[in-house]
Amino acid sequence: MKVGLLLLAPLLLLSACRPPQPDPQAAQQIAALSARIGTLETEVAELKAGQRDSGVANADDVTARAAAQSCAIALARALELFRQGSVGSRYPTPSQVDLPDACES
């Protein structure tokens, strides 16, 4: 009887070391997640392509903003030069303002 138990013990241990069987529910979840990842990667690629296309369309906006900023800087410089050269350190009235060339376009 003891000999039978000694032979049976290694068999039980070997059967306990068997690799786990795949879980069908986990396989379904992995497949669903893989599909979702594929969809998201496609959406990201489309968004990146759209940004590249809209970057060209916004060139006029960028140019207009740069021109406006250049005008603002030139006007601020002209107003400050007027103030520094005036009696009483005052800024010009609207009728005294000469727009800089950057603002004439």
Each residue of 58-94: pLDDT tens digit?
788 888 889 999 999 999 999 999 989 888 888 888 8
Each residue of 14-53: pLDDT tens digit?
666 666 677 778 788 888 888 888 989 999 988 888 776 6
Helix (H) or strand (E) holding 10: helix 2-16
Q: Two tokens at 71?
A: 């005008």
Query: For position 18, what pLDDT does the model report?
Result: 63
Q: What is the DSSP string of 20-65?
A: PPPPHHHHHHHHHHHHHHHHHHHHHHHHHHHHHHHHHHTHHHHHHH
Report the C-alpha dihedral over residues 31, 35, 36, 41, rounded to 10 degrees: 140
